[in-house]
């Protein structure tokens, strides 16, 4: 019968000389597989007389477990070497500049967000947020739009059933505007309040200038002795900064929103021709936002005493601003995820918007 000691040292030599996982696996099969050398020897035991069977069986078991252990160690060693080789080969130097052809672009909506935050941030506004899925209290009731109020029909609302209640008034909505953030802010913060709330909004609408999901920025200022003059000054400064122009003619048209009284729409002066829209000059007007003095009922709904505090609010469509400022004709293309579109209309991620360093870094309305 073969000398197990000699055989073992041969096997261990074989194990240690294995260079890769493929050879390792072949060796494992050759030794321990169904027809492997050790397996065959174990099978041969049954032919031996009892005494011998016991003695040799013990020896073989020791051999088997030693070889198994050696194979296991070898496998770990090979795996580690393989990982190190991979890490070495895939090493990247994060300090290298980005290759221009691989650089991503900032979506115009994100760019406008950044610009608006930079402008209002410098005026001392904070950014506030609210949920996309709202209850009807925050989206409507608290904004002076009780159930059956005709103004609810102004917005084509997507309703979401409430699993806990069959009552339609308890159903949720995907917020139709960013105005509910006004209420959520008042609930959580004492005046003075000075916030903007950019975010997604949803209405059932679809054409070249409407998409079911779009973006708005809400603004809210509440303090003692706030007047319509503060609203006018603030929004005038905003449009000048936003369109990067020294002056922009503005006018306020009386309007109606349930949550403001008085309410107005702000227009900016422009020149419309067949091929071009020039902001800041000319005899035409373009509506850009809704605004007004916060209705006393809205202050009350937010837990603020209207006899002590007043406020103004405004709401702007971000996508529309992006279309105007960057000359993008169709809103639907914003959300088609076409990389060619993003390459054309997108922005360099390293051009941060700031009031001192420049907003759009490409001349804004002049583009």
Nearest residue to 192 (alpha-carbon basis) of 125, 242, 139, 92: 125
Q: Spell out, one character per residue from 8 to 37, where the chain touches ligand DAH: x when CB under 6 A holds, - when not.
A: ------------------------------
Q: DSSP letters of 318-331?
A: HHHHHHHHHT---G
Among residues 290, 311, 346, 364, the one that binds ligand DAH under rule CB under 6 A: 290
- From candidates 136, 139, 260, 360, binder to ligand DAH by CB under 6 A: 260
Q: What is the sign, positive or negative, of the torsion defined by CA atoms of 315, 321, 322, 325?
A: negative
Cβ at position 292, least distance to ligand DAH in Å: 4
Instruction: Kindly tell me the burial class for residue 264, based on how many C-beta atoms sit within 10 Å of its own C-beta (0-12, 13-18, 19 or more).
Output: buried
Nearest distance in Å: CB 257, ligand DAH? 4
Residue 292 pairs in a beta bridge with 263, 313
Q: Does residue number 125 form part of the binding site for ligand DAH (CB under 6 A)?
A: no
Using the minimum distance from each CB to ligand DAH, give the nearer residue, 179 or 211: 179
Closest approach, Cβ 179 to ligand DAH, in A, equals: 4
Answer yes or no whether residue 313 interacts with ligand DAH by CB under 6 A.
Answer: yes
Nearer to ligand DAH, 105 or 152 (CB): 152
Which residues make Cβ contacts (< 8 Å) with residue 33, sequence separation at least 6? 39
The yes or no reply on residue 292 touching ligand DAH (CB under 6 A) is: yes
How far apart are CB 154 and ligand DAH at their closest, in Å?
Answer: 7
DSSP 135: -
CA dist 312 and 299 (Å) reads 11
353 binds ligand DAH (CB under 6 A): no
What is each CA distance from 257 to 29, 150, 249, 252, 281, in whole angstroms? 80, 11, 24, 14, 29
Residue 360 in the binding site for ligand DAH (CB under 6 A): no
Q: Where are the alpha helices (DSSP H) in 255-317?
A: 296-301
- Give the C-alpha separation, 50 to 136, whole Å: 86
- Report the C-alpha gap between 279 and 286 in whole angstroms: 9
Question: Considering beta carbons, is residue 60 or 123 the nearer one to ligand DAH?
Answer: 123
Footprint (CB under 6 A) of ligand DAH, residues 64-103: none
- Measured from the CB atom, is 280 or 315 closer to ligand DAH? 315
Which x/- pattern over 171-190 shows residues binding ligand DAH (rule: CB under 6 A)? ------x-x-----------
Angle at 190 between CA 192 and CA 234, to 5 degrees: 25
For the bound state, the minimum distance from the C-beta of residue 365 to ligand DAH, rounded and expressed in Å, comes to 23
> Is position 214 an interface residue for ligand DAH (rule: CB under 6 A)?
no
Cβ-contact 52, 87 below 8 angstroms: no
Closest approach of ligand DAH to the CB of residue 103, in Å = 35
Residue 257 binds to ligand DAH (criterion: CB under 6 A): yes
Strand partners, 267: 251, 287
Indicate whether 314 belongs to the interface with ligand DAH (CB under 6 A).
yes
Nearer to ligand DAH, 314 or 326 (CB): 314
Assess whether the previous peptide bond of 224 is cis (omega < 30° from 0). Answer: no
Binding site for ligand DAH (CB under 6 A): 177, 179, 218, 257, 260, 290-292, 313-315
């Amino acid at each position: 019968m073969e000398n197990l000691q000699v055989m073992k040292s041969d096997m261990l030599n074989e194990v240690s000389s294995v260079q890769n996982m493929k050879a390792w696996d072949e060796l494992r099969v050759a030794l321990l597989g169904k027809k492997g050398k050790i397996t065959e020897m174990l099978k041969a035991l049954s032919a031996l007389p009892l005494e011998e069977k016991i003695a040799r069986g013990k020896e073989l078991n020791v051999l088997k477990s030693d070889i198994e252990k050696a194979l296991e160690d070898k496998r770990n060693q090979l795996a580690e070497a393989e990982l190190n080789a991979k890490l070495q080969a895939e090493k990247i130097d994060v300090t290298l500049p980005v290759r221009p052809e691989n650089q991503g672009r900032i979506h115009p909506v994100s760019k406008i967000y950044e610009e608006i935050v930079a402008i209002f941030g410098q005026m001392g506004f904070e950014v506030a947020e609210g949920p996309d899925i709202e209850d009807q209290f925050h989206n409507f009731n608290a904004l002076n739009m009780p159930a059956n109020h005709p103004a609810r029909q102004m917005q084509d609302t997507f309703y979401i059933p409430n699993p806990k209640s069959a009552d339609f008034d308890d159903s949720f909505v995907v917020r139709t505007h960013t105005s509910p953030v006004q209420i959520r802010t008042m609930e959580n913060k004492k005046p003075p309040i000075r916030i903007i709330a950019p975010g997604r909004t949803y209405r059932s609408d679809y054409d070249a200038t409407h998409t079911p999901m779009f973006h708005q920025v809400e603004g809210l200022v509440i303090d003692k002795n706030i007047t319509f003059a503060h609203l006018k000054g603030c929004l005038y400064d905003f449009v000048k900064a936003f369109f990067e122009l020294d002056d922009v003619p503005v006018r306020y048209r009386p309007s109606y929103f349930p949550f403001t009284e008085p309410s107005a729409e702000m227009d900016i002066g422009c020149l419309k021709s067949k091929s071009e829209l020039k902001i800041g000059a000319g005899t035409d007007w373009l509506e850009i936002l809704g605004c007004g003095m916060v209705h006393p009922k809205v202050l009350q709904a937010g837990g603020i005493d209207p006899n002590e505090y007043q406020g103004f609010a405004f709401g702007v469509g971000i996508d529309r601003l992006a279309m105007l400022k960057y000359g993008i004709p169709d809103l639907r293309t914003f959300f088609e995820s076409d990389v060619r579109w993003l390459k054309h209309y997108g922005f360099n991620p390293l051009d941060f918007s700031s009031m001192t360093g420049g907003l759009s870094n490409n001349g804004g309305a002049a583009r």
